[in-house]
Amino acid sequence: MINEKLIPYIVSSIQEHWDLPALTDYPGPALSYAEVGRRIIWMHHLYKAAGIQKGTKIALAGKNCSNWAVVWLSSVMYGATIVPILANFSPEDTQHIVNHSDAEILFISKDKYDSLDCEQLSKVRYVFSLEDYQLLNSAPKAPKLTISDYTQSQDIQNLRKQDMKVEDVCDNEDIAAIIYTSGTTGFSKGVMLPHRSLLANLIVAREHLLFSVGAKVLAFLPLAHAYACSFDLLYPFTRGNHINFLDRIPVPKILLAALKDLKPEVVLTVPLLIEKIYKKQLQPTIETPKMQTLLKIPLLNKLILKKIHDKLMLAFGGNIRELITGGAPMNAEVEQFMKKIKFPFTIGYGMTECGPLISYANWQHHRFESSGQQVEFLEIKVKSPDPQKVPGEFMIRGDQVFKGYYKNEDATKEMLRDGWLYTGDIGTLDKDGFVFIRGRSKNVILGPSGENIYPELVEQKLNNLPFVGEALVLERERQLHAMVYPDFESLDAEGIPETRVGELMENNRKELNKALADFSRIVKIHIVNEPFQKTPTQKIKRYLYS
């Protein structure tokens, strides 16, 4: 059980790193830790004027930006409960979440505000602009706010670091955030994360993710998701890092340009982006007949792999100490190649209900096809007669585990049973606590003789084949079918007309089936013309296609 508290970590970081750059809306100017501290104190005055009390819900809807971070930090430090809402949620979903969470304050970007019907926001008393904190709307019976504009508050502008103090009214069991994930199984539920969950993740990160003080961080994953919020915002902020926000997940070309400019030490990303970089920039070179021949010559093999390693390091800014992916399974072929060139690359495992980290190992200790090693403050158990060999459902308990779903007792009872969190993820756990994920329990397909087929593993193999952009494997009439969104960019580059796509995919199907057991072979590939809809961590929303 953790006996520390979260808020002192944040306050001490602001004091300690007072003059260092803290937050930037890339590629704009930076806010210093001093400026962030002043804004947090001003926000606390605003909350007090608005009648906000401990536990009051504050909703936050918009893209990654410095003001998003200030609202999040100030709300948690005040003792309120922050309700971050993903920027790509529809106006209807945003409105539903604001109402379902009982939010009384809403910070929202102006573009999202224009499509919102404020009259339908049941408990919201004040709506503020995320761009400049200006009041956009107030409920008819809400008291008039009397507080000086931030830039006009001289006491705030003159605040010194020794005056940077925040009364810590929170207990570790108090709810810091309610996160409505888009999930992969239907409409989202509100995950209640207590202070202890965020604190446990923070302490684990401080122990393992050794960012240098002042190092630059590129934050492009959605902050409204637990993964980015904990490790692209909360941890680096307490470490004195300079966090640079991109307001969306960039295409590889834009990502690599930003990395080259900022030269970060640690980068958090999702497997899909790394797989795209591998497929577009590395695979075409290493799979040529000439390169395959050269790679079979021992001395040349080492030289070539080192050159590829150095080239990739340079592409990521040249300063990378570790590239961390999570949120979805990694393609085994890509992972194997990254290990072969000794790139500082690792894979973690987590879920929003754990705030999010469950397992992680640094790149030197990472084991192939694992998702890291069980982290401190929690325990992992596999519901299996032989957890090391026979896949079963992962069960978790510990400080990271959430307190339940907001106003949803049935869903809470389904996930939290006998003191354990039932994750729905299937896999094995080796003797050293390394996690090996095979798939989701809801996705497992039974073969003709009762065999377990994990569609995610079949999809990995299919995604490695020529001209496959994305793939989804489903059961139809007791047979396995695959939906494929072709890699149209590669088709165009090679001058291949769309009329040949069906033929190419049929060739892929035959090639794929050679590598599969009889019971998991694909009977037909269906071509789709639009990318699959995905969650914030780029997992395909399977329920939309079943």
CA-to-CA separations, 101 to 51, 94, 168, 412, in angstroms, rounded: 18, 11, 24, 16
3-state class (DSSP) for residue 330? coil
CB 24 within 8 A of CB 237: no
Instruction: State residue 183's pLDDT score.
Output: 40
Residue 6: is its pLDDT beyond 70? yes
Helix locations, 128-234, DSSP H: 154-157, 195-208, 226-228
Residue range 217-241: average pLDDT?
A: 94
Could you tell me which of 399, 391, 440, 452 has the C-alpha nearest to residue 421? 399
Tell me the pLDDT band of 186, cut-offs 50, 70 and 90: very low
Instruction: State residue 182's pLDDT score.
Output: 56
Could you tell me which of 326, 413, 423, 442 has the C-alpha nearest to residue 378? 423
How many of the other CB atoms lie within 10 Å of CB of 285?
Answer: 12
124-149 pLDDT, tens digit per residue, is 999 999 999 999 999 998 989 888 77
Could you tell me which of 186, 181, 73 has the C-alpha nearest to residue 402? 181
Question: Which residues contact residue 80 at a Cβ distance below 8 angstroms, ignoring those fewer than 6 apart?
Answer: 47, 52, 53, 54, 55, 56, 57, 58
Residue range 72-87: average pLDDT?
A: 96
C-alpha to C-alpha distance for 471 and 526, rounded to whole angstroms = 10
Could you tell me which of 458, 469, 460, 457 has the C-alpha nearest to residue 505? 469
Domain architecture of the chain: domains with CATH: 18-194 (3.40.50.12780), 266-318+320-440 (3.40.50.12780), 447-544 (3.30.300.30)
C-alpha to C-alpha distance for 157 and 96, rounded to whole angstroms = 37
Residue range 474-494: average pLDDT?
A: 88
Tell me the pLDDT band of 203, cut-offs 50, 70 and 90: very high
- pLDDT > 70 in the chain, percent: 97
C-alpha to C-alpha distance for 359 and 347, rounded to whole angstroms = 9
Strand order in the sheet with 345-347: 266-269, 322-325, 345-347
Residue range 321-350: average pLDDT?
A: 87
Instruction: State residue 448's pLDDT score.
Output: 66
How many of the other CB atoms lie within 10 Å of CB of 23?
Answer: 27
DSSP structural state of residue 162: G
Residue range 499-527: average pLDDT?
A: 90
Ramachandran class of 333: left when φ > 0, alpha when ψ lies in -120 to 50, beta otherwise:
alpha
Residue 188: is its pLDDT beyond 80? no
Which of 159-163, 420-424, 534-538 reaches the highest mean pLDDT? 420-424
How many of the other CB atoms lie within 10 Å of CB of 488?
Answer: 14
Tell me the pLDDT band of 184, cut-offs 50, 70 and 90: very low
Residue 105: is its pLDDT beyond 70? yes
Which of 58-67, 277-286, 474-483, 485-494 is least confident? 277-286
Instruction: State residue 290's pLDDT score.
Output: 84
376-389 pLDDT, tens digit per residue, is 999 999 999 999 99
231-270 pLDDT, tens digit per residue, is 999 999 999 999 999 988 888 888 888 999 999 998 888 8
Number of helices (H) and strands (E), helices first, in the chain? Answer: 19, 26
Higher pLDDT, 29 or 299: 29
Which of 189-203, 206-220, 257-271, 313-327 reaches the highest mean pLDDT? 189-203
Structure-derived torsion over alpha carbons of residues 489, 495, 500, 506, reported in degrees to the nearest 10: -60
Could you tell me which of 441, 440, 454 has the C-alpha nearest to residue 520? 454
CB 230 within 8 A of CB 375: no
Structure tokens given for 326: 């999570």
Residue 461: is its pLDDT beyond 90? no
